[in-house]
C-alpha cells in the first residue's frame, strides 16, 4: 500500500469538523496516515493523530469550552490594555497546558509537519517531530495575531504566530515526500458564507476580517494544487512530462478534499453546541465524499 498524506487546515473552534471527518476516514475506510501536515488548530489535531491518540483527541473536543482554551474578556479594560502595550486581547494559558499535557514527541509515529509564521520577517517555518521546540511551535501555530500573544519558539524564531497566515491548507508541506494520495480536510467552504448579524465591536470585525482573508488563502492553496494536478494529468495523456523550476518531474496525486458546504460558525466559539454541530457536519461530509 502506498503512502498517504493528511493535510489539516486552520480554523480555531472549527477544528472539531476535522476530528470527526478524519475519524470517519480512518474507521470506515481504513486510512492510515504516513505524513501529517497541519497549521493552526490543524497543528494540534495533527500532533494528536500522529501519536495515534485517537480516543483522547475525540474526548478532548467533546469536553472543550471557551475557558478550556483561552482566558480574558473583550471589554473596556481589554481595550485600554491594548492601548498601553498589551500584545493580545486574550491569554492562551489553558491551551498551552493542553499541549504540554497531551503532546509527547517521542510517541509520534507519523511524519509530522507543523507550520508557523514569524512576525519579524514573515517567513513560514516547518517544524518536524524531532525538533526540540515542537510543543512551542504547535502553540505558536494556533496563535491568531492580536487575539492571542505571539510565541517565542527559539532564539532564531521569535514572535511566531498562526501558520495559516501563509498556508491555510499546508499542501506544499507534504509533496516532497511523494505521497500516493493526499487527503485534505479543510474547515472552510470554498466560498465564504454570509454572516447575517451585526458586528458589535472591533473584535467581531477583526475576527470576520481574519475569516475572509483565510477563506481567500485556503481557496487559492487548494485551487493551485488542483490546477497543477490537472495540468500534469493532461500533459501525461499527451505524452508530455512537466518539470518544476528545479527540474524535478511533476506528478499527479490522488486527492480527496473534505470541506463543509457552508460556514461552521465562529472560530472562537468553543461551546458544546458549536463543537457538536461541527463534528456532526464533519462526519456527514466525510461520508458524502468518501462513501
Among the ranges given (20-29, 267-276, 278-287), the one the predictor scored with the smallest mean pLDDT: 267-276
Give the start-end residues of each E strand in 173-273.
Answer: 181-185, 254-258
| More confident site: 264 or 231 | 264
Q: Where does the pLDDT of residue 280 fall: very low under 50, low under 70, confident under 90, or very high at 90 and above?
A: very high
Average pLDDT, the chain: 85
pLDDT at 80 over 70: no
* Contacts of residue 197, Cβ cutoff 8 Å, sequence gap at least 6: none
pLDDT tens digits for 112-152? 999 999 988 888 999 999 999 999 999 999 988 878 788 88
> What would you measure as the largest C-alpha separation in the chain, in angstroms?
66
> Using CB atoms within 10 A of its CB, is residue 165 exposed (0-12), middle (13-18) or buried (19+)?
buried
> What is the C-alpha separation between 275 and 278, in angstroms, rounded?
5
Q: What percent of the chain has pLDDT over 70?
A: 83
Flag whether pLDDT at 190 surpasses 80. Answer: no
The pLDDT of residue 65: 85
pLDDT recorded at residue 179: 93
Domains of the chain, earliest start first: 4-290 (3.40.1090.10)
- The DSSP symbol for 216 reads H
Each residue's pLDDT tens digit, 9-29? 988 899 999 999 999 999 999
**Burial of residue 235, with CB atoms counted within 10 A of its CB: 0-12 exposed, 13-18 middle, 19 or more buried:** middle
> DSSP secondary-structure letter at 4?
E
Band of the pLDDT at 192, cuts 50, 70, 90?
A: low
216 CB contacts (<8 Å, ≥6 apart)? none
pLDDT band at 72 (very low <50, low <70, confident <90, very high): low
Amino acid at each position: 500500500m502506498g503512502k498517504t498524506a493528511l493535510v489539516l487546515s486552520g480554523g480555531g473552534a472549527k477544528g472539531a469538523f476535522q476530528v470527526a471527518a478524519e475519524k470517519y476516514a480512518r474507521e470506515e475506510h481504513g486510512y492510515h496516515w504516513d505524513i501529517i501536515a497541519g497549521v493552526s488548530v490543524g497543528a494540534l489535531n495533527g500532533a494528536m493523530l500522529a501519536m495515534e491518540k485517537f480516543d483522547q483527541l475525540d474526548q478532548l473536543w467533546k469536553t472543550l469550552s471557551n475557558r478550556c482554551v483561552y482566558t480574558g474578556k473583550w471589554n473596556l479594560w481589554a481595550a485600554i490594555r491594548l492601548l498601553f502595550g498589551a500584545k493580545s486581547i486574550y491569554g492562551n494559558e489553558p491551551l498551552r497546558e493542553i499541549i504540554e499535557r497531551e503532546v509527547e514527541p517521542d510517541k509520534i509515529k507519523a511524519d509530522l509537519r507543523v507550520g508557523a509564521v514569524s512576525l519579524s520577517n514573515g517567513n513560514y517555518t516547518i517544524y518536524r517531530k524531532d525538533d526540540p521546540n515542537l510543543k512551542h511551535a504547535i502553540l505558536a501555530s494556533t496563535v491568531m495575531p492580536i487575539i492571542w500573544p505571539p510565541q517565542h519558539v527559539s532564539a532564531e524564531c521569535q514572535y511566531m504566530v498562526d501558520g495559516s497566515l501563509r498556508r491555510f491548507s499546508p499542501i506544499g508541506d507534504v509533496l516532497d515526500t511523494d505521497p500516493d494520495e493526499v487527503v485534505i480536510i479543510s474547515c472552510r467552504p470554498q466560498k465564504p458564507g454570509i454572516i447575517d448579524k451585526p458586528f458589535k465591536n472591533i473584535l467581531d470585525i477583526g475576527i470576520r476580517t481574519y475569516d475572509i482573508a483565510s477563506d481567500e488563502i485556503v481557496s487559492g492553496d487548494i485551487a493551485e494544487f488542483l490546477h497543477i494536478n490537472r495540468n500534469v494529468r493532461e500533459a501525461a495523456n499527451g505524452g508530455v512530462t512537466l518539470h518544476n523550476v528545479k527540474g524535478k518531474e511533476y506528478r499527479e496525486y490522488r486527492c480527496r478534499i473534505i470541506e463543509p458546504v457552508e460556514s461552521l460558525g465562529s472560530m472562537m466559539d468553543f461551546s458544546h453546541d458549536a463543537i457538536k454541530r461541527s463534528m456532526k457536519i464533519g462526519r456527514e461530509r466525510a461520508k458524502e465524499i468518501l462513501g
